[in-house]
Amino acid sequence: MCVIYLTQVNCPCKYNFSDDGKKVTPRRDVPSYPKYTLSQETIEALKKPTFDVWHWEHNEMLSCLEYMYHDLGLVKEFNMNPITLKRWLLAIQENYRNNPFHNFRHCFCVSQMMYGMIHLCNLQEKLTLTDMGILMTAAVCHDLDHPGYNNTYQINARTELAVRYNDISPLENHHCAVAFQILSLPECNIFANVDPDAFKQIRQAIITLILATDMARHGEILDSFKQKVDNFDFTNEEHVTCLKMVLIKCCDISNEVRPTEVAEPWVDCLLEEYFMQSDREKSEGLPVAPFMDRDKVTKPTAQIGFIKFVLIPMFETVMKLFPQIEEIMVQPLRDSRDHYEELKQIDDAMTEVEPVLSISLSLSLSLSLSLSLSQYMC
């Protein structure tokens, strides 16, 4: 079995788009990843947002993703060769970089949450199997070859990636391009047995979903969904496309839906990636966003606004269509908001106390020094 990879240049942001540089090419043959037999407990846990994504090695995550495709009936629906599915998943893993946040584990997180939402919202009864395949495949591919530096950096630094895509969602366009470069390889084409016209529609739908993950489009996409949700029509193609865009957005930024012990390490990972970018921006004389500046941001300040003004409004809108997500997805978001607001209150209190402590410490040291000197003089 061959693993596929993209040739990458040394700098993670200054892309080399020479004809030879970005071809997806077969690598040396490697053994297939071990076939894990998933326990019934794992199978049931996979369907829930409470799934702990930190306890799994890459091979195990690959097996879980493989299971999802079989369980949803996608292998049968698209007449996939099971070996091709394995090769494709290996190629996907190989083309995620080892960033602190935007890495293969994040890909797995988003895909597992999508699988969970499909079950929780009974989407198999409302959408087609083709829609299921589009949702899952877009989730798996949505951050392929992410360099760890966001669109703002790409545009401000005028990277080749930003130039290539005219400053329009450069990263998301790149993720799409890499996804379909991998699928263009016969040994990795899970849609090889799909009718060409059907594949054309699938391709366009996957591109639409991956491009929807650009947070610069968040307001536009959510507003469009809000206009449809009260009279949502599952037979209306435009309505369904909008729903799928919102679903992948939910899954992409869903970490705070998970239990605190699962969600909180992701905040550390994201801040690490932010700080890497802001340090680089400072060194290159580029603008720095306050929420990415290690001298200005804390975990509570990073999370409170995002949870209150992005996550909760979006998930509460989805809740209108699927009330069953309130207890399992929306309430944890409210709890997380409360948790970080409490932490911020503690931080603020400590900030107020610090000057007093500093003065007290200075006085204490002065008194101690005076006493020592008086004893010495005696």
Output the known binding site.
Answer: 102-106, 142-143, 252, 303
Q: Which residues are annotated as a binding site for Zn(2+)?
A: 106, 142-143, 252
Least Cα distance to 86 among 113, 110, 65, 72 occurs for 65
Give CA separation, 289 vs 273, 274, 280, in Å.
13, 9, 12
Which DSSP string corresponds to 24-48?
A: EEEEEE-PPPP-----HHHHHHTTS
From CA 72, how far away is CA 54, in angstroms rounded?
24
Least Cα distance to 178 among 11, 23, 10 occurs for 23
Helix (H, G, I), strand (E, B) or coil at 2: strand
Residue pair 341/359 in contact by the 8 Å Cβ criterion: no
10 Å Cβ neighbour count for 56?
Answer: 18
Backbone angles phi, psi at 46, to 5 degrees: -60, -25
Residue pair 29/4 in contact by the 8 Å Cβ criterion: no
10 Å Cβ neighbour count for 30?
Answer: 11
Residue pair 120/225 in contact by the 8 Å Cβ criterion: no
Residue pair 112/146 in contact by the 8 Å Cβ criterion: no
Per the annotation, the verdict on 339 as an active-site residue is: no
Annotated catalytic residue within 55, 58, 70, 102: 102
The first and second tokens of residue 284, run together, are 């290159």
From CA 88, how far away is CA 335, in angstroms rounded?
38
Residue type, 4: I
Q: Which residues are annotated as a binding site for AMP?
A: 102-106, 143, 252, 303
Least Cα distance to 208 among 255, 246, 253 occurs for 246
The first and second tokens of residue 50, run together, are 């409470």
User: What's the Rg (C-alpha) of the chain?
Assistant: 24
From CA 19, how far away is CA 37, in angstroms rounded?
42
Residue pair 317/229 in contact by the 8 Å Cβ criterion: yes
Query: What value, to the nearest 5°, has the Cα angle with vertex 89 and ends 83 and 94?
Result: 125
Residues designated catalytic:
102
